[in-house]
Amino acid sequence: MKENSVFATIYENICRDTGRQNESAKLIAVVRLLTLSMLVHSLICCMLVSLTGHIGALVFSVASPVLFLAVFVLSYHWSTFASYCVLNVCILFWTCMNIYCFGWDIGIQHFLVVLLVFVFFCKYRHEPVKVLFAAALFLLRLYLYFYCHSHTPVIILDTGLTGILQTVNSFFIFLALGLVAYLFSTTTQEMEGKLIEYNRKLMKQANTDTLTGLYNRRRTMEYLENLLSAADSQISICICDIDHFKRVNDTYGHNVGDVVLKTISETFQKRLPPDTFISRWGGEEFLLIFPRLNGDEASTALETLRQKIRDLTFDGGFENFTISLTYGLVEYDYHSDITTLLKEADEKLYIGKENGRDRIVF
C-alpha cells in the first residue's frame, strides 16, 4: 500500500489509537472495523427493508446505520473500553430488535456468535467474565428462539425478501467473524513467531561458541551420545589443535589470534563434508565428527583440509604468517564409550605433537 494513497490514509485513521495510556491500539482498530462493517450491513438492510413500504420498519432500518455511525465517530473521543462496551450493547440491541421486527428466519441471531468471539478474543484474562457473558448469550439466544416460535414478527416479510436478508446477514456474519479472528490471530501468530525465534536464538547461544559460531563442548557431548547410541554406520572422530597458538597470541596479539580461530572455523565449514559435526572443543582445540565415514575416508578429508589450512596467510601487522594443525583421528569400534574414544583421539593428537606437528595420526 502506497504511503500517500487514500486507502493508506483511511487505514491509518482507523488504526489511530485514543491517545490514552495503557489501552490496546489493536482493540480500538478492531472495534472501528467491526463498527464499519455493521454500518455497511445496516445500510444494505435499510435499502432492502424499504422495499416493504412499512413505515415502522423503515424508521428502524434508518436508525440502525445512524447508530453505528455514531459509535464509529465517538470511538475517537471515548476510551477504548467504553467504545468496546458500547459496540457490544449496540449489536445486542440491534440483533434483538431485528428479531422482534422481522423474526427468526432472517438469520440475524447469529450475530450473537460474533459477539461471543469478539469478547473472547478482545478481553485479556477475565475468564469468569467471559464464561458469564457466554452463558448470558446462550440464554438470550434460547429465549429469542422460543419467543419467535410463540410470537408473530411485527413485520411480515415475503419469502423472497426473507431469503435475501438471510443471505446478506450470513455474509456479514462471516465477514465479522473473519475480521475479528484474523486481526487477533495475526497478533497471536506474530507473538508466537517471535517467541519461537527468541527460543531459537537462546538455543543457538546455549549450543554454540560465541567467537567462532561452531558448536560448543556441551552440544558436542549431546550429539555424540545420541550418535553413538543409535550407531548403524561407521563413525570417525578427530581432535585437532592449532600448532604453537600461544606463540601467535604472544607475537601478534589476541585480536589476531581471534581472527585465526574464526578463519580456521570457516575453513572447516567450507572444506569438510557437509554432514561433518564441527565444534570448538576448547581454546585452540576443535572436535570433528564424521558420521558415515570410516577412518581412511575421514583421513582423506582431513588431508585435504590440512593442505588448505597450510595455504592460508594471516596478517600479523608487521609481517604475514601461516599456521598448521595437528590431528588425532579414531574410528568408532561399536563398543567403546565416549570417554574412551575421546581419550584415544587425544592421545593420537599428543603423538602428532611429539612427532613434529602438522600431521594426521590415525
192 is catalytic: no
Proportion of the chain above pLDDT 70, given as a percent: 90
The whole-chain average pLDDT of the chain stands at 87
Lowest mean pLDDT among 179-188, 217-226, 268-277, 290-299: 179-188
Q: How many residues does the chain have?
A: 362
Q: What is the mean pLDDT of residues 36-43?
A: 90
The pLDDT of residue 128: 86
> Position of cell 463498527?
35
From 86, 84, 82, 79, select the one nearest 19 (Cα to Cα).
79
Lowest mean pLDDT among 55-59, 147-151, 353-357: 55-59
pLDDT band with cut points at 50, 70 and 90 for residue 24: low
Phi-psi region of 213 (alpha: psi -120 to 50; beta: other; left: phi over 0): left
Q: What is the mean pLDDT of residues 284-298?
A: 94
Is pLDDT at 313 greater than 90 in this prediction? yes
Q: Which of 23, 192, 284, 297 is catalytic?
A: 284
Radius of gyration of the chain (CA): 36
The pLDDT of residue 1: 47
Burial 96-105 (b: 16+ CB within 10 A, else e): bebbbbbbeb
pLDDT band with cut points at 50, 70 and 90 for residue 75: confident
* Cβ partners under 8 Å of residue 172, min gap 6: 37, 38, 40, 41
Q: What is the mean pLDDT of residues 170-175?
A: 92
